[in-house]
């Protein structure tokens, strides 16, 4: 499974070689609060960017399928940025470590057991004022649990070109693949709205699962 992570990371490098967005690094001195909800669970992420190259912060997430909650630190690094006339592409590496707490328990791990945990991920995006594409992959390891491997691909289009300070609207579709889930693949059409420091996303997958994300920069 670890070999697959490096294969997908290499693919992200190939794909990306060509207002507010959901990026994991902000402007120097900026704080960002993020809330994510999808079929697997919920996540809260608060990070600070000392420079425009990296961010550090706290991440908490609840996994409904695997019955655990995770608390830990996260570090994200902007590895490369490509600026071209009318477009921009970014490549990020994110990693973190902490503890996962069992919410159900079994014969081997009693309820509330603290399990060492860590993750490694790659995120890439490319955008113009009209078009958007992104790829996100993460490998999560929890002591005594099967590894989790999740990857997401997004494509989006803006129906109109908004001016600075106006509401921006995007129509997007997200495909997600999860190794640890019996329903391995899902497709979610969604809407993205953002203005100034606020970004909101919402949609329903082909399996009837809700997706909601909220991001605020301050």
Give the chain's radius of gyration (CA, Å): 17
Per-residue model confidence (pLDDT) at position 116: 92
Query: When comparing pLDDT for 16 and 39, which is higher?
Result: 39
- CATH architecture of the region 2-217: Beta Barrel (2.40)
pTM attached to this predicted model = 0.83
Q: What is the mean pLDDT of residues 41-65?
A: 92
Per-residue pLDDT band for 41 (boundaries 50, 70, 90) equals confident
Q: Is the pLDDT of residue 18 over 80?
A: no
Domain boundaries, the chain: 2-217
Per-residue pLDDT band for 218 (boundaries 50, 70, 90) equals confident
Portion of the chain with pLDDT greater than 90, in percent? 62
For the segment 158-188, what is each residue's pLDDT rounded down to a tens digit?
999 998 889 999 999 999 998 765 667 899 9
C-alpha distances in Å from residue 210, one per residue of 23, 39, 64, 181, 207: 22, 7, 14, 16, 9
Return d(Cα 27, Cα 218) in angstroms, integer: 10
- Residue 163 DSSP label: P
Mark out the alpha helices in 84-179 (DSSP H runs): none
Return d(Cα 208, Cα 178) in angstroms, integer: 16
Beta bridge partners of 78: 92
Angle, CA of 58, 124 and 42, to the nearest 5°? 40
For the segment 66-118, what is each residue's pLDDT rounded down to a tens digit?
778 999 999 999 999 999 999 999 999 999 999 998 877 655 556 667 889 99
Both tokens of 81, joined, read 């940025």
């Amino acid at each position: 499974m670890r070999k697959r992570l490096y294969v997908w990371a290499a693919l992200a490098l190939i794909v990306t070689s060509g207002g507010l967005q959901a990026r994991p690094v902000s402007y120097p001195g900026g704080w960002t609060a993020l809330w994510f909800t999808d079929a697997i669970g919920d996540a809260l992420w608060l990070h600070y960017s000392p420079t425009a190259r990296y961010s550090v912060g706290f991440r908490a997430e609840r996994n409904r399928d695997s019955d655990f909650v995770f608390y830990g630190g996260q570090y994200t690094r902007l590895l490369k940025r490509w600026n071209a006339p009318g477009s921009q592409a970014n490549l990020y590496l994110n990693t973190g470590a902490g503890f996962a707490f069992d919410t159900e328990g079994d014969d081997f791990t009693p309820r509330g057991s603290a399990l060492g945990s860590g993750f490694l991920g790659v995120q890439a995006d490319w955008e113009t004022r009209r078009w958007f594409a992104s790829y996100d992959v993460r490998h999560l390891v929890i002591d005594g649990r099967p590894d989790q491997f999740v990857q997401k691909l997004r494509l989006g289009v803006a129906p109109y070109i908004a001016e600075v300070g106006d509401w921006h609207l995007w129509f997007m579709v997200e495909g997600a693949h999860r190794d640890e889930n019996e329903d391995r693949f899902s497709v979610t059409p969604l809407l993205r709205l953002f203005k100034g420091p606020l970004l909101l996303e919402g949609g329903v997958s082909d399996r009837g699962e809700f997706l909601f994300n909220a991001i605020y920069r301050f």
